[in-house]
Amino acid sequence: MERIENYARFIDVNFNLSLDLPPDVQEQWMPLIATTGDLESYRKKNSNFDRQTAMYFLAFDEGNPNSIISCIKASREIARTVRGSLNKEIWEKINETYYFVLKGKKQKVWTHEDPREFFKQVKLDIQLLYGISEDSMSRGQGWYFSKLGQYIERADKTSRILDVKYHLLLPSLDDIGSPIDYLQWTALLKSVTGFELYCRECGTIEISGVVEFLTLNKHFPRSILFSLKEAQKCLSIVSGTTDGGYSNKAEKELGSLVSDLQYADVSEIIKSGLHEYIDDIQVKLVQISDAVYEHFFKIKPNFIRQKIEEQ
């Protein structure tokens, strides 16, 4: 569900950006595909990056496992398997969003002249779901596992969209500081719902300020550091760790990454290479996710043998 909300926001903001760009500047949908990590998969299916093709791939292509329609189908199926742990309102909102997305595909929203209302509604549906969950779900192990996944996903998506803007989006050094550059950084901040807060806290839009805000800010809910600190709290609870240390590989790797971010300096990050720094964070997030799976979810051969012997 976090991925769905991110995709809906990204598409909505990128569409708005395309309306603001000068006529002689090509719409930049390729960087948005790159943000999702599915650029190679997209190129196998499509030869161009026009608006309709990119929007269909991100939102309605069931052959893309990360598309909005694929994610809502997976979310609904997972919710159905744990239906007894969910209250009526949560299940109904997931179901409602599922049928709304199916209706959008049937209506071929990606071909509409202005599809923004569809993606805004998807985003609002997910946010409403979060609000219902916040006020009605028991703070048990299931809750903390779901929040752990949500915050790791959020950190990953923030890192990806920052990396794409800095590494791919600018066509040349001449554009740095230009009106186009300003529009792109503004769109990036809006894509993570951080534009107004950034302006209040930092004022002028500068590369170092935006990088620090999205990477190291301790108070912005979508910064990488904030998201991973929240993920760390959730992981400690489900691991039963109360002394501030770690009891498994996932806790150790997540704690190490949070510590690195807390003591990082934005000028040193940019000087050493933002792309390389972000790439390293993404690799570590994958390792943390793998470690969570290995420790909590992977069925061990010894466990299987034990169950067979018991039977």
Cα–Cα dist 157/215, whole Å: 12
pLDDT value of position 308: 63
* CA–CA gap between residue 17 and residue 175 (Å, rounded): 16
Report, as an integer, the average pLDDT of 299-305: 66
**Which whole number is the average pLDDT over 136-153?**
92
State the average pLDDT over residues 58-73: 96
For residue 173, the model assigns a pLDDT of: 46
Average pLDDT of the segment spanning 66-82: 95
The encoded tokens of residue 44 equal: 């196998």
Q: What is the dihedral of CA 231, 234, 239, 240, to 10 degrees?
A: 140
Can you tell me the distance from the alpha carbon of 282 to that of 290, in angstroms, rounded to the nearest whole number? Answer: 12
Tell me, what's the pLDDT at 238?
Answer: 93
Q: What would the mean pLDDT of 233-240 be, rounded to a whole number?
A: 93
- Measured distance CA(168)–CA(172) in Å, rounded: 10
**Mean pLDDT on 129-155:** 92
The confidence band for 12, taking pLDDT boundaries of 50, 70 and 90, is confident
Tens of pLDDT, residues 245-266: 788 999 999 999 999 999 999 9
Which CA distances in Å does 176 have to 14, 170, 184, 216? 19, 8, 10, 23
161 pLDDT band (50/70/90 cuts)?
A: confident
Nearby residues of 6 by Cβ (< 8 Å), 6 or more positions away = 153, 154, 157
Instruction: State the pLDDT confidence band at 306, using cuts at 50, 70 and 90.
Output: low
Q: Please list, in sequence order, all residues whose beta carbon lies within 8 angstroms of the beta carbon of residue 111, skipping any fewer than 6 positions away.
A: 52
CA distance 165 to 175: 13
Q: What is the mean pLDDT of residues 55-83?
A: 95
Instruction: Judge whether residue 290 has pLDDT over 90.
Output: yes
What sign for the dihedral angle of Cα 166, 169, 174, 175? negative
pLDDT (average), residues 159-181 = 65
Q: How far apart are CA 25 and CA 279, in angstroms?
A: 28
Measure the CA–CA gap between 103 and 122, rounded to whole angstroms: 12
Specify which of 38-47, 135-144, 192-201, 224-233 reaches the highest per-range mean pLDDT: 224-233
Distance CA 308, CA 311 (A): 5
pTM across the whole model: 0.85
In this predicted model, what pLDDT tens digit does every residue of 25-64 receive, in sequence order?
556 788 888 888 898 999 999 988 888 999 999 999 999 9
